[in-house]
A and B are shown apart, each in its own frame.
Chain A
Amino acid sequence: MGLTLIQKILLKHSLSGKLKDFIYAKVDFCFGNDITAPLAVKEFNKAGFDSVFDPNKIGLICDHFTPARDQKAANNVKLLKQFSRQFKIKHFYDIEACGVEHVFLPEAGLVKSLDLVIGADSHTCTYGALGAASFGVGSTDLAAAMKEGKCWLRVPESLKFVYQGKLNPWVGGKDLILYTIGKIGVDGALYKVMEFSGEAIRKLEMDDRFTMCNMAIEAGGKTGIIEPDEKTVQYIKTANPKLKNFKFEKSDPDAAYARVINIDVGRIKPQVACPHLPSNSKSVKECVKVKLDQVVIGSCTNGRLSDLAIAAKILRGKKIKKGLRAIVIPATPKIYDQAEKKKYLQIFSEAGFIISPATCGPCLGGHTGILDKGEVALATTNRNFIGRMGSPESFVYLSSPAVAAASAITGRITDPDEVAG
């Protein structure tokens, strides 16, 4: 029996050299952010640890409540900075350098194919798009990994999703993943790996692949993964030109899957996930009566350059609906610069969007775009749980950047076809 890509990576990192139900595995990189890492540091200190396994393989990335929303947030960043100085941790990043962690780490070349990465953030599953095994864990897991460079893992089964056919206009990675979560439910991939494959995936650019793997957690998945191809290799080499001996693997043709799910992408129209679960996905046409108070384009799901590009394409020469609040958050300083050079930021600004510094901010109801009671937002983010963006009595809809941009123009949920042209 052959092995899936994820099994191959876990086998390579298993300290016993075997793949049992549970393995103790060596990690290539571990990281946390300004809300999960302070708890890890607290546990690390409480346990009396006085060394880290490798100061070059730990990341402390400040992105959630930054730029510091208040003194407490500033204190958490300071605590991570002090910890980094104490243990000579190389990859500590504050706002001037990083931006949203799951966009920044691949962009900075800190993750590559076949790596085993754990992060104290559930969207760590994003790096499966690079052919890496990346798992979200908790703060105590991070404390243990910082000390030992190891992590306990259950060896997961995989679900194989095969996407065939031709994508409809305005349909991208976000629509495919919202549709998929709608089909299998928010626990449809519980403890399992979601392997995305098929000709439609091969045609997707890397940004769309990151979006799909990013949301594997919203179906309960342990991670998402996509077999690397020439696009992946190009991305990794561009991100880290110094990289030598770069290798990648694919799943064996006879690898065992818990289930194979075939999806004809020709049937998928632009999707919207309605409150209060990411699995409540519908075709945009079924949601066009929903009036909006706020639109947010950004996050680790959809704050990349091509996300801004497609939104700018729709917004060029247009204005947002009067009275609507529209926020765009380029996910990293580098993306901000690129979007500026390409004049996307000018288009957003002229349309009436506010351009935010890189932050997770409103996605998790942190700051810079909180909803009040009764308010409705359409966001390119990943979760629409009760109270996710502020008041427990507010409503969050999820969509692609194209649908979000079109909806900003009309002030209600809108099919991009309606305003484009």
Chain B
Amino acid sequence: MTIKGKVHKFGDNINTDDIIAAKYLDSQDEAFLGSKCMENIDKDFFQKVAKGDIIVAGKNFGCGSSREHAPVAIKGCGVSLVIAESFARIFYRNSINVGLPILVSKDCGSISAGSLLSVDLNQGLIKDLNSGKIFSSEAFPVFMQEIIEAGGLLSWIKKKEKQ
């Protein structure tokens, strides 16, 4: 699967309160949560982001609370992929479980805001279509690839039950 989108850049330690403020956690609605995504740190993010866009961030993306509303909000505002130097562990597993594509790329810091990326998710290859540069990413462990291919944790469980 290949994803094409424009880059929105964020720094290190973007926490789940940044991604979706706690006051909105009484909602489970993807579109509503998406409309409030990043509100605390970038009030106009929802206005700026277009369907298919890509978030590129620094270290420890998604730190803080366990709220699954965070990857849901990111999906809800139309973002198709998050690339970061590292992810906080609960955000990482939540993204896998809800089917938000994520990639760990140690050198993604040099990708510029506004660049157009083409990302081959199967191979983990990130191509900056503006500069022509190629960035690599870490492969998912086999175990997680199974969950991703099944379309998330609960689909994976149901698939196992059938076997």
A interface, CB within 8 angstroms of B: 21-22, 35-36, 38-39, 42-43, 46-48, 64-65, 70, 72-73, 76, 119-122, 124, 136-141, 143-144, 147-148, 152, 154, 186-187, 190-191, 217, 220, 222, 277, 364-366, 383, 385-388, 392
Residues of A near B94 (CB, < 8 A) are 138-141
Name the one of B13, B18, B26, B98 contacting A140, with C-beta atoms under 8 angstroms.
Answer: B98
Per-residue contact bits, chain B 5-32, to A (CB 8 Å; 1 contact, 0 not): 0000000010101100111011110000
Does B28 lie within 8 Å of A392, measured CB to CB? no
Q: Is B157 an interface residue (CB 8 A)?
A: yes
In the assembled complex, the Cα of A76 lies from the Cα of B89 at a distance in Å of 27
Residues of B near A386 (CB, < 8 A) are 17-18, 40-41
- Quick one: which of A120, A138, A386 has the most chain B CB within 10 A? A138
Does A121 lie within 8 Å of B86, measured CB to CB? no
**Known contacts A140-B97, A140-B153; is-contact A220 B88 (Cβ 8 Å):** yes
3 nearest interchain CB pairs? A138-B94, A187-B60, A387-B40
What total of chain B residues lie within 8 Å of the partner, measured CB to CB? Answer: 42
What are 14 pairs between A and B in contact, CB < 8 Å? Answer: A21-B141, A21-B143, A22-B144, A39-B69, A70-B26, A72-B26, A138-B67, A141-B153, A187-B59, A190-B60, A190-B88, A220-B63, A385-B64, A386-B40
Does A137 lie within 8 Å of B93, measured CB to CB? yes
In the assembled complex, the Cα of A277 lies from the Cα of B40 at a distance in Å of 15
Smallest CB separation, A280 vs chain B (Å) = 11
Interface residues of B in 55-69 (CB under 8 A from A): 59-60, 63-69
Residues of A near B162 (CB, < 8 A) are none
Does B23 lie within 8 Å of A186, measured CB to CB? no
Residues of A near B93 (CB, < 8 A) are 137-138, 141, 152
Q: Is B154 an interface residue (CB 8 A)?
A: yes
Q: Is B116 an interface residue (CB 8 A)?
A: no
Name the one of B39, B60, B67 contacting A186, with C-beta atoms under 8 angstroms.
Answer: B60
Residues of A near B18 (CB, < 8 A) are 385-387
Residues of B near A64 (CB, < 8 A) are 25
Does A187 lie within 8 Å of B88, measured CB to CB? yes
Q: Is B48 an interface residue (CB 8 A)?
A: no
In the assembled complex, the Cα of A191 lies from the Cα of B93 at a distance in Å of 11
Instruction: Look across to chain A and name the residue whose beta carbon is closest to the beta carbon of B59.
Output: A187
Name the one of A39, A42, A136, A364 contacting B22, with C-beta atoms under 8 angstroms.
Answer: A364
Smallest CB separation, A156 vs chain B (Å) = 9
Smallest CB separation, B104 vs chain A (Å) = 11
In the assembled complex, the Cα of A230 lies from the Cα of B126 at a distance in Å of 54
Residues of B near A70 (CB, < 8 A) are 26
Q: Is B90 an interface residue (CB 8 A)?
A: yes
- Quick one: which of B66, B88, B143 has the most chain A CB within 10 A? B66
Does A277 lie within 8 Å of B13, measured CB to CB? yes
Name the one of B21, B39, B60 contacting A365, with C-beta atoms under 8 angstroms.
Answer: B21
Name the one of A121, A144, A190, A388 contacting B153, with C-beta atoms under 8 angstroms.
Answer: A144
Name the one of B21, B86, B157 contacting A387, with C-beta atoms under 8 angstroms.
Answer: B21
In the assembled complex, the Cα of A47 lies from the Cα of B162 at a distance in Å of 14
